[in-house]
Structure 1
Amino acid sequence: MIRKRVVITGEVQGVYYRDTCRRVARAAGVAGWVRNRPDRSVEAVFEGPAEAVADLVGWTRVGPELAIVDRVDVHDEPVEGLTGFDIRPTG
């Protein structure tokens, strides 16, 4: 199990990024959360098997159809044992 925190910048709010991310993560069996940030970026945390998390991180570089991703910053973090995948309030 690994955990990655990602911050995605570009045109990533108002394009169903969070909902699509949640659906992709759940389908991959990855736990975590996603939220909009006040600076118009999107932040997400992925926990799960290394390959599945890597796939999700790769997905963030493209996102849903209407997104225009300029940058993805990836940070390793200690695993917390999250279950499920949620959309969190803006923070």
Structure 2
Amino acid sequence: MRENLIRKHYWFSGRVQGVGFRYRACYIASSLGVTGWVRNNWDERVEMEAQGSRELLAQMVEMLGRQRFIEIEGIEERVIPVEVESGFYSR
């Protein structure tokens, strides 16, 4: 499984703060077995690092986009080095 892991750093823009984005990201990540973290940024974007298979990360972002009240207008992402960690949490 480890060889299939990737880690991505994301920045989400749109209506993503004050709408339960971090809570839902934690819930979705935990249900999918994705690890990482999520936090609000000062510039009204949400920043997230997520680690799992390419398919699981795509599924997580898709599920976040379908949540009530969340309106993702833009996503910036880049692949970063895999880390040793367990769990997904809000910073």
TM (normalized to structure 2)? 0.88
Q: 1:2 to 1:25 in 2, by over 3 A?
A: same
Q: Which amino acid aligns with 2:29?
A: A
Contact 1:21 1:63 in 2 (8 A): no
Q: Which amino acid aligns with 1:73?
A: E
- Cα distance between partner residues in 2 of 1:81 and 1:48: 11
Q: Does 1:2 align with 2:6?
A: yes
What is the number of residues matched between the two proteins? 87
Q: Does 1:33 align with 2:37?
A: yes
The ranges of structure 1 where at least 4 consecutive aligned residues each deviate by more than 6 angstroms after the TM superposition are none
RMSD over aligned Cα atoms: 1.2
Q: Which runs of 5+ in 1 are unaligned?
A: none
Per-residue deviation, 1:63: 5.2
Contact 1:63 1:69 in 2 (8 A): no
